[in-house]
Amino acid sequence: MPRPELPALTRLGYGAANIGNLFRELSDEQAWAILDAAWESGIRYYDTAPHYGLGLSERRLGAFLRTKPRDEFVISTKAGRLLRPNPDDDGGLDLAADFHVPTTLRREWDFSEAGIRASLEESLERLGLDRVDVLYLHDPERHDLDLALREAFPALEQLRAEGSVDGIGIGSMVSEALAAAVESADLDLIMIAGRYTLLEQPAADAVLPACHARETGVVAASVFNSGLLAKDEPERSDRYEYGRMPEPLWERLQAILAVCRAHAVPLPAAAVQFALRDTAVRSVVVGGSRPEQLRRNAELMAIDIPAALWDDLAADGLIR
């Protein structure tokens, strides 16, 4: 059976983890201002997940999008983790997952068909919407990738066949999991988190070729490598993923920065536009915890980058 045609994604999307209080607490008013800035900047693709703030991101995003015409935006959320009452709640915060929200709920993995259906239904309830456009399986390799391939992806395919969602996919930062999913399941989209960026492109080895072969679209996320590429002038002490940047990667970054300077292109502009050079990539999803960050990202996406910059980076072996 042919896949349903997906709605078009804007080149720039918003990843809504920050409005789930990722890394710091935001008020409802602050979250709304961020989303308002995204909308005013032309962003019409929004991605969220139950994982983000134990449902807070979905609730805030849904409240905002309910004020907009439903045919003017695309929304994706994720399945795989159900939110259930936490019997061990001690009144603390979900800081182990980096979210500043109370631990009244906990995440429970469930890749069964019933679990996938329940996840979608509960997400729709939190969002206050009657449908989402795309449903991704979230980080299956962190639980059981083989089980996901046997049970979760067929359940997603069934939901799509029933018309409950237009598109299905996987969201992960592990190239091996992404490639296995594309090769084993009939997916519309995958979300590559941090594995296809200006600084690092391991997804180019097996993931992108599989996507081209299966006509599976790509959404590139975490393209700033934990914020490292979001600065015009990165610093050696900046965080890389969960720790200090390895020296070879720092040297590579300095070489990329030198090419950007030679072409008078801001490093963040090259970072946000890089992934779109591959024809499989439909959108680049970025986060942001302040309205000015969303406006800046839209400006970066609009900067005209000369082809010679990409040619020089490739000639120096810095990009594929």
Active-site positions read: 52
Residues sharing a CB contact under 8 Å with residue 60, sequence separation 6 or more, in sequence order: 16, 19, 20, 28, 31, 32, 35
- Those residues with Cβ within 8 angstroms of residue 129's Cβ, 6 or more apart along the chain or in another chain: 62, 65, 66, 70, 75
How far apart are the C-alpha atoms of 318 and 158, rounded to whole Å? 41
d(CA 169, CA 252): 32
Residue 264: φ, ψ to 5°: 55, 40
Whether 239 contacts 226, CB under 8 Å: yes
- Torsion from C-alpha of 191, 194, 196, 201, nearest 10 degrees: -140
CB 234 within 8 A of CB 266: no
Task: State the Cα–Cα distance between residues 191 and 178, nearest whole angstrom.
Answer: 8
β-pair partners for 107: 83
Assign residue 132 a region (left: φ > 0; alpha: ψ between -120 and 50; beta: otherwise).
beta
Are the CB atoms for 252 and 199 separated by under 8 Å? yes
Say how far apart CA 125 and CA 123 lie, in whole Å: 5
CB-CB contact of 297 with 181 (8 Å): no
